Amino acid sequence: MRTKGHFYMEGLLKKLIICYMKLLRVPFRASKKKYHDFLLTEICSALTDEKFDITYRLSPKDPLEIPVLQRRGMDNRFAIVMQGPICVKEDFTVRTVKYYRDIYKEAVIIVSTWEGESPQAIKTLEDMGAVLVRSKLPEKSGILNLNYQIVSTLAGIQKAKELHIRYVAKTRTDQRLGRPFIFEYLLNLLNHFPGGDPHLQKSRIISLSMNYGNLFTPYFMSDFFYFGQVGDIEKLYLCPLDTRDFYPLDPDATCREVAKRMYPPEIYIFKHYVVDYLKGNGNDTVKAYWDILKHYFICVDIKTVNLVFPKYASHFRDHWMYGDYNMNDRPERMRTMNFDFINWFNLYSGTLKYDAVYEKFADVRF
């Protein structure tokens, strides 16, 4: 068991490392050498062992000065909805709006946030041409702040409808899709993979693959990002607000039980949409889950869109987010693959086939 002493020593070690890195930066800046490359290369080299190769990734905060390829441009009825509190640390939200504005000049950028946010940040965003939507915080946050996501996202999507937007990307104020021209790629996917039933859905919905090995956890699709026609994305967030009191997840709960109880926001949003609008049976089986993904969704990789997410909890680090399977270190949890584009496309094409034996994987500990 970890004691207070362990946490104290970890905190002290982190502070010492930060101080050392700041001191080391000075001579490199003076000599104009590549500080990041040198330090990270040496650290990765020192930590690489017989089990793992370790690499690093640098993500630019602003668009790189690279030759711009000729492009047709997006449909001018396209919007990027960024929902959540304004991320003022290092002006992340402001810089993200600038990033999108520089690349997607034809896009409507909607920032759906809360009353009481920084007036200076609000003015800066409006001066950059963003459309600001400010909502009142719901009285009850819901499990893991689910209601905050529902309210702010729905307000942004409905503003897009008022502006006669056709296609919309639901994103977060603390995340950035760093791959240039990724939205053309997503629109092309919708055009190449028509939906299963036009009476239920105008087109497929594109979602990011999850970083928890979600292949066998029914309805556990990431809620970080969705892309599709505005009416379909609106339906995703027309789910009822969460009135449940927060409850701790049973440590022995299985993947199937988690799906049944709709514990995390990802499952709550996805499953409500499946049952309420796609007429799915919601029976929490791997088969039902795979059928829905095959006919109504497209899964794309987080590494394809180059998601920038400045959080440093272990499950948001690159070796989790960008891995092809869940990198948990708990022996009681099964390591499973993610529903990335490769697995989704193989399912769609018929080379990945459902087998009843997969149901046992939904009955392991979540």
pLDDT of 30 > 50? The answer is no
Residue 32 pLDDT: 47
Q: At residue 34, what are phi and psi to the nearest 5 degrees?
A: -80, 90
Residue 150's pLDDT band (boundaries 50, 70, 90)?
Answer: very high
Rounded distance, CA 95 to CA 192, Å?
Answer: 32
Range of the domain at 249: 78-363
What percent of the chain lies above the pLDDT cut of 90? 56
365: exposed, middle or buried (C-beta count within 10 Å: 0-12, 13-18, 19+)?
middle
The answer to whether residue 310 sits within a structural domain is yes
pLDDT of 160 > 70? The answer is yes
The answer to whether residue 244 sits within a structural domain is yes
Closest by CA to 112, choosing from 187, 172, 48, 31, is: 172
Count of domains in the chain?
1
The answer to whether residue 21 sits within a structural domain is no
Per the CB < 8 A criterion, the answer to whether 294 and 173 are in contact is no
Give the pLDDT mean for 76-80. Answer: 87
pLDDT of 80 > 80? The answer is yes
322: exposed, middle or buried (C-beta count within 10 Å: 0-12, 13-18, 19+)?
middle
Rounded distance, CA 153 to CA 238, Å?
Answer: 10
Residue 75 pLDDT: 65
* Segment among 26-40, 327-341, 351-365 with least mean pLDDT: 26-40
User: Torsion angle, CA of 185/75/92/208, rounded to 10 degrees?
Assistant: -40
What pTM was computed for the model? Answer: 0.85
The answer to whether residue 225 sits within a structural domain is yes
* Segment among 108-112, 133-137, 151-155, 196-200 with least mean pLDDT: 196-200
If one compares 60 and 304, the residue with the highest pLDDT of the two is 304
If one compares 148 and 316, the residue with the highest pLDDT of the two is 148
Determine the 3-state secondary structure of 156 from DSSP: helix
Rounded distance, CA 283 to CA 256, Å?
Answer: 9
In angstroms, the first-to-last Cα distance of the chain is: 22
The residue written with tokens 């959540």 in the block is: 84
If one compares 162 and 76, the residue with the highest pLDDT of the two is 162
Per the CB < 8 A criterion, the answer to whether 299 and 343 are in contact is yes
- 202-239 pLDDT, tens digit each: 999 999 987 777 899 999 999 999 999 999 999 999 99
Per the CB < 8 A criterion, the answer to whether 120 and 86 are in contact is no
Residue 65's pLDDT band (boundaries 50, 70, 90)?
Answer: low
- Residue 161 tokens read as 């409808």
Residue 77's pLDDT band (boundaries 50, 70, 90)?
Answer: confident
The answer to whether residue 32 sits within a structural domain is no
Residue 60 pLDDT: 72
The answer to whether residue 6 sits within a structural domain is no
Residue 333's pLDDT band (boundaries 50, 70, 90)?
Answer: low
pLDDT of 116 > 80? The answer is yes
Closest by CA to 114, choosing from 173, 169, 196, is: 173
CATH number at residue 320: 3.90.550
The answer to whether residue 71 sits within a structural domain is no
Q: How far is CA 329 from CA 4, 187, 322, 335, 340, in A?
A: 22, 37, 16, 9, 21
CB-based contacts of 305: which residues, under 8 Å, 6+ apart?
177, 178, 179, 182, 208, 225
Neighbours of 14 (CB within 10 A): 10
Rounded distance, CA 161 to CA 79, Å?
Answer: 10
DSSP of 231-265: HHHHHHT-SPP--PPP-PPPTT-BHHHHHHHT-SH
Rounded distance, CA 125 to CA 141, Å?
Answer: 26
Residue 121's pLDDT band (boundaries 50, 70, 90)?
Answer: very high
What percent of the chain lies above the pLDDT cut of 70? 79
Mean pLDDT of the chain: 85
Residue 38's pLDDT band (boundaries 50, 70, 90)?
Answer: confident
The C-alpha angle 366, 219, 109, rounded to 5 degrees, equals: 115
- 233-263 pLDDT, tens digit each: 999 999 999 998 776 778 889 999 999 999 8
Residue 156's pLDDT band (boundaries 50, 70, 90)?
Answer: very high
